Amino acid sequence: MLRKLAIVLMLVLMPALLFAQARPIVLRLAETHPEGYPTTKGDYEFARLVKERSNGRIIIEVYAGSQLGQEKAVIEQVQFGAIDLTRVSISPMASFVPRLNAFQMPYLYRDEAHMWKVLKGDIGKELLKSLEPFGFIGLGWFESGARNFYNSKRPIRTPADLKGLKIRVQESELMMGLVAAFGAVPTPMPFGEVYSALQTGVVDGAENNWPSYFSTSHYEVAKYYTLDEHTRVPEIIVGSKISLSKLSKADQELIRQAAFDAIDYQRAEWAAYEKLARDKVVAAGCQIIEITDKTPWMELMKPLYARQSKEIQDLIEKIRAVK
Ligand code: GTR
């Protein structure tokens, strides 16, 4: 009788146990860029590494093209656990974690190599760790080139040419201050709304790197592109503290390591796409304005630096000291 009962129990419980074991942990990652964009490819590489290293136990589903919302709204949802992961620019992220502003100050990095030394070194690693009290787990960084002004009105050769132009900025106080310090009128709005705002004249211009200028087709409606390289804004991959802390410490570490290991892949994809974007934009007949002396541009940024908190000033100094 007892044996029979045991067999029946086993038959009933086994499939349930097996099923429970086989069911993967699924995490959703929100990405604003479309499929095929180098950063989205970086997300997929991150997901691939996580799947491979967890033997399929952890699956990251990438939702590209703002399917889960625009950046600021996505960050809010990550903060309260409704979205598990996202890759965003640190500009909107800095509204949630102010010290991130130190990493997007104008003309801060000497070049791309300097930025990567900072991000992959102790300063960058510490910063990723410091996001927890705000409800985020910092996982890694991606490349995003340098941002340049573009507009539909006139070629911008000096900061004075920007005067009075309505320039779209990310939803970031620092970026508003930066554009205002150049004498333009900053207009914050989500990325997805910029094309029609340019087309209808709600704004005269915006600013972004070559890949975004090209992939959004903004170059079709704002053909003056000035290579002033006012800022390098790193991209960040963050997880939701609420959702990731449900995983074991080992799995959290696996995810963190995978994000970090996807960086070089994304950077290589970025470099290739940046070149392609540049070629396409030039071929389309846009007017590209080179800036040989950035000194007058940098000068105008001094008050913005002076306004930053002590904490940010200290971080800026540390960043500059990285050789
Ligand atoms: C891009 C960045 C996006 C988004 C966008 C914007 O360079 O990769 O995440 O922040 O800029 O200007 O809104």
Q: Give the domain CATH number at 54.
A: 3.40.190.170
Residues 225 and 305 in one domain: yes
Residues 32 and 178 in one domain: no
The model's pLDDT over 260-269, given as tens digits with 9 standing for 90+, comes to 999 999 999 9
In a domain, 58, yes or no: yes
pLDDT at 16 over 60: no
How many Å lie between the centroid of ligand 1 and the Cα of residue 28? 20
Closest by CA to 270, choosing from 206, 190, 214, 191, is 214
How many Å lie between the centroid of ligand 1 and the Cα of residue 238? 15
In a domain, 246, yes or no: yes
Task: Specify the ligand 1 atom closest to the Cα of 233.
Answer: 7
Q: Which residues is 169 bridged to in the sheet?
A: 188
Residues 67 and 106 in one domain: yes
Structural domain tally of the chain? 2
Banded model confidence at residue 6, pLDDT cuts 50, 70, 90: low
pLDDT at 99 over 60: yes
pLDDT at 8 over 60: no
The model's pLDDT over 217-251, given as tens digits with 9 standing for 90+, comes to 999 999 999 999 999 999 999 999 999 999 999 99
Q: Which two tokens stand for residue 297?
A: 């541009």
How many Å lie between the centroid of ligand 1 and the Cα of residue 207? 10
Which pLDDT does position 193 carry in this prediction? 98
Which pLDDT does position 18 carry in this prediction? 53
Ligand 1: which residues within 6 Å by Cβ?
A: 32, 39, 71, 88-89, 91, 144, 170, 191, 208-209, 212, 235
Residues 162 and 91 in one domain: no
Residues 206 and 297 in one domain: yes
Range of the domain at 216: 146-232+275-321
In a domain, 103, yes or no: yes
- In the chain the beta strands, taken as DSSP E runs, fall at 25-31, 58-63, 85-89, 136-142, 147-151, 166-169, 185-188, 205-208, 224-231, 235-240, 287-290
pLDDT at 4 over 80: no
Q: What is the pTM of this model?
A: 0.93
Residues 72 and 171 in one domain: no
Residues 213 and 265 in one domain: no
Mean pLDDT computed over every residue of the chain = 95
Residues 226 and 315 in one domain: yes
Residues 291 and 156 in one domain: yes
How many Å lie between the centroid of ligand 1 and the Cα of residue 191? 7
